[in-house]
A and B are shown apart, each in its own frame.
Chain A
Amino acid sequence: MGSPQAENRTGVFFCNCDGKFSDILDFRAIISSLDLASGEIVQEVPGLCKEEGQIQLSQSIRAASLNGLVIAGCREDRLNKACLHTANQHGIGPYRTAFVNLQDLCVNVHNSGGPLNQKAAHITQQALVGLRLQAPVEELKLQIFPAVMVIGRGEAAAEVAAEALKQQPVILVDEVAPPGLDLAASYAGCRVTAVSGQAGRFNVTLQGPEEETQVRVGAIVIALDTPKQIDPALNLPEAEGIVGVSSFRLEAEQDWHGKSVAFVMGDGESQQSTARALELALELREKYGARVEFFFTQMQVAGKDLEYRYRLAREKGVRFNRYIDPPDVHVNVLGVTLKYNDPQLTASVPSRALVDYLVAGEVDLPAPETAGLSKALQVNMGPGGFFQPDNIHLLPARSNREGVYFVGACHHPVHALDTALEAKAVAAKLARFAHGCVNLPQLQAVVDSEKCALCLTCYRTCPHKAVDINFEAEAARIDPLACQACGICAAECPAKAIELPRFHNRQVMAQLGYAGKVIAFACENSGLAAAELAGVLSRKYPAEVELIKVPCAGNIDAAYMLRAFENGAEGALLLTCHAGSCKSLLGHARAEARLQRTREVLASAGIKPERVRLQTLAANAAHKFVQSVSNLVESIEHGDGETR
């Protein structure tokens, strides 16, 4: 673990926005209340987004040989860009440049006065101590395997293999190489039994009919074909003349002229099924003039070309019949009889249709290999036994593990409609691995092997399965490519052996030394964004509320909450994403667990446990942010807070 910059010479620059902020903020008071270490300077600048401002910044950097910048001003992008540009010119770089959004976190949301100035000073000071304690960020150059493994057979696997082939070697598992694709290798009839390593350097064990093979790839795409089943909700009898959409063949008849076909679509089936049914209906109608009855309950039109095909089919004379209860179907020598209630007619007399064939809508079932593969690859499963949890951050193609992606119906039937598009999107992600080498800054969690007790907490807890055991070092190792820097492991580690470089325990603890009466620990994916939006919308809330930014609510250590109270805070709030929308899947749950523990401690220490609260909110929920912090402040003002 790196230590803080040997020589800290950070400059704090307040942009008063040409005096606009000066009406509200008392910069003189703010500046005088800052705690500066030796080598640190502070200046007020009229307009940092302008050329003169940047010149002044440059001069100051040079004069004081600064190696760190805190820019406190507005939210504007051009300010940030201009300052970053100047910082880069002076070799300071992005990880030693911190921005403080005075506009949204102070000016727009609080009335002028002492508390506001104190808050402005605090948030600036927090940025300053953060930089003071910021270890140099290493640039990593990782050697990886450029090849990608595509697991599966059928359309989805072929599409993604073809796309990936444009940029990197492709290894196909469980499929004979489709003609025309120049694959690096293919392992037909093989099964993935285990995977070790991490994104970029996966080592996959394949069990073939005779022998076991080890294959090294940088990334893995799961594109399993899914079995289809006639929608069980249709309650159709098993009989000749009744087939599922995917098994219906036009070759069934020599001549379709004068024949009749009914399509019956269920409610829960895939778009693919509907699309194929419409395609067949059109062809039967257009080419052969066959009579086509199309039964549906909710016409699916929200998919590629669906609306168009539906309209075209109507024009071409396909008869569309909406039903409420699925048709009653009987089969005899004459054909297939459908008895149904047309909701547009009087319901007392059922309508009838007699056809030669009934083609039924289908639902996708999870591929039978799903559970086994999920275990071997350590990727989570989702609703209905398919792959992929229903989480906005993972959709459409990501798994909980870096370097493992999904294409097609295997992760959810909804994805099956446009596999070509999905294959392209996944190929774009795979491109990262194509060059055999990845450069990235070391911003991910790092294990101090001296402190690591190998308790396996991080290994078991990491939602991204980014932790391996380094047997040589006898310590856990967090893979920099696989780690998503959520910091859950850092907050769980019982040996305090894990740190996130930009949310180091000592940084946050130092920042807590400059925090107000009410501290909102804000996940940057939700709470912080909501707070900044409150600024954009100028929604006022009490100035004693101050924010501590965390990468994920799962990084909010119980020790942070307790330290806040030790420092005299009277309330704390954990602002987290909603349970199912956590980018790191477990963050909300871990925050909730630590909240309970902290509450127990507070209660034992004679402080009302309700003084620490958790609020779930979305990034755009500015009102919820304002409401929750205001409620907490209000309840603090009302109650005495201490039970003894």
Chain B
Amino acid sequence: MIVAEAKTLEEIFQLVEPFKKILVAGCGGCVTVCMAGGAKEVGLLASAIRLSRRNNQLEVLEQTVLRQCEYEFNRELSSSVSEVEAVLSLACGVGVQSLAEQNPDKPVLPGLNTKFMGLPLEQGVWAERCQGCGECVLDKTFGICPITRCSKSLLNGPCGGSQGGKCEIDPDVPCAWQLIYDKAISLGQVDRLRHIQPVKDWSKSRDGGPRKVVRGDVRLDEIGQ
């Protein structure tokens, strides 16, 4: 899932400072699951904003849609959006932008910082697992992504800063290449690591410019034309 975390309340209070009526829009997708932007957080943030503006009235509407990254679901927000001066979105960056696209005449503000694609290691702890580089190498690295989990995204083994299974940048960060090596050992395939991974084609990643996936077979406007 996409993992996000709340901006500080100070930042948010500043963002909504110019307005007298806003909508706090939640998302029922990833950010609900990672506890950053679901109905619960919408309610808490709306309360916090109202409290901060108790001497300078600000009306706050609250609404959460199924997924803010879908135009169709966001239409449910249209009547609330029309009532307010600005929308504070508690979705990931995708949700914020889809709302912004759909509402060209309304400021849409981000209430979260979108962090990464990852998973919960335990309740309340999320870790990054994928960077969406566009060309998956997990088959070559035994299911552990060096692009994401090695601090230097090294493709050919650990740098000299790997010690005791930890990365040099932080003793809490496991060395991805130690993990890869351990997995290779348990699979009895260490020899596969001798192969030199060629230079990566980053054009398939974000470096190639904004990306799009087009599936002709499921596109409706392609059919019958």
Contact = CB atoms under 8 A, between A and B. Distances in A.
Interface of A: 451, 453-457, 460-461, 493-496, 558-559, 562-563, 565-566, 600-602, 604-607
Interface range on chain B (Cβ under 8 Å from partner): 20 to 34
B10 interface: yes
9 contacts: A455-B32, A494-B32, A494-B39, A494-B41, A495-B38, A496-B43, A566-B51, A601-B51, A604-B10
B123 interface: yes
Interface string B19-48: 000000000110011110011110110011
A462 to B, nearest CB: 11
B43 A559 contact: yes
Nearest to B123: A460
Contacts of A455: 32-35, 38
A621 B44 CA distance: 32
Contacts of A460: 122-123
Contact of A494 (B8, B38, B48): B38
A605 B54 CA distance: 9
Closest 8 CB pairs of A and B: A562-B47, A604-B9, A605-B51, A494-B38, A455-B33, A605-B52, A496-B39, A453-B32
Contacts of B44: 558-559, 562, 601
B31 to A, nearest CB: 9
B39 A461 contact: no
Nearest to B8: A604
Contact of B35 (A494, A565, A566, A605): A494
B166 interface: no
A559 B52 CA distance: 15
Contact of A559 (B34, B38, B47): B47
Interface in B47-87: 47-48, 50-52, 54, 64
A451 B39 CA distance: 9
Contact of B40 (A493, A602, A606): A493
Interface string B177-195: 0000000000000000000
Given A455-B35, A601-B9, 7 more contacts: A451-B39, A460-B123, A493-B40, A494-B33, A558-B44, A601-B51, A605-B48
Nearest to A558: B44
A496 B48 contact: no
B123 A566 contact: no
B13 interface: yes
Nearest to A598: B44
Contacts of B32: 453, 455, 494-495
Given A455-B33, A457-B123, A460-B123, A495 B39 contact: yes
A606 B49 CA distance: 11
Contacts of A565: 51
B40 A494 contact: yes
Contacts of B13: 604
Contacts of A559: 40, 43-44, 47
A396 B50 CA distance: 48
Contact of A601 (B29, B47, B122): B47
A495 B30 CA distance: 11
Given A453-B29, A453-B33, A605-B52, A566 B47 contact: yes
A453 B51 contact: no
A456 B126 CA distance: 14
A460 B32 CA distance: 15
B40 A562 contact: no
B119 to A, nearest CB: 11
Nearest to B47: A562
Interface of B: 8-10, 13, 28-29, 32-35, 38-41, 43-44, 47-48, 50-52, 54, 64, 120, 122-123
Which DSSP category, helix, strand, loop or mixed, fits chain B's interface?
helix
A602 B51 CA distance: 8
A604 B38 contact: no
A289 B165 CA distance: 68
A461 B35 CA distance: 14
A601 B32 CA distance: 20
A495 B47 contact: no
Nearest to A607: B51
B11 to A, nearest CB: 10
Contacts of B10: 604
A461 B124 CA distance: 11
Contacts of A453: 28-29, 32-33, 38
A327 B156 CA distance: 66
Nearest to B39: A496
A35 to B, nearest CB: 22
Contacts of B64: 495
Contacts of B28: 451, 453, 495
A494 B51 CA distance: 21
A494 B8 CA distance: 19
Given A496-B40, A605-B51, A606-B52, A600 B9 contact: yes
A506 B114 CA distance: 31
Contact of A604 (B43, B52, B54, B122): B52
Nearest to A559: B43
B157 to A, nearest CB: 36
B27 to A, nearest CB: 10
Q: Most A CB atoms within 10 A — which of B34, B48, B52?
A: B48
A211 B7 CA distance: 54
Contacts of A496: 38-40, 43
B40 to A, nearest CB: 5
Contacts of A451: 28, 39
Contacts of A493: 40
B25 to A, nearest CB: 15
A457 B28 CA distance: 14
B50 A566 contact: yes
A606 B123 CA distance: 30
A184 B29 CA distance: 48
A547 B154 CA distance: 59
Contacts of B54: 566, 605
A199 B150 CA distance: 45
Nearest to A606: B52
Contacts of B48: 562, 601, 604-605
A562 B38 contact: no
Contacts of A607: 51
B183 to A, nearest CB: 25
A454 B35 CA distance: 12
Contacts of A454: 33
Contacts of A606: 52
Contact of A563 (B47, B120, B122): B47
A513 to B, nearest CB: 14
Q: Most B CB atoms within 10 A — which of A558, A566, A604?
A: A604
Contacts of A562: 44, 47-48, 51
A455 B30 CA distance: 9
Nearest to A601: B48
Nearest to A602: B51
A315 B211 CA distance: 94
Contacts of B9: 600-601, 604-605
Nearest to B10: A604
Nearest to B45: A601
Contacts of B47: 559, 562-563, 566, 601
A277 to B, nearest CB: 47
Contacts of A602: 51
B109 to A, nearest CB: 17
A281 B51 CA distance: 74
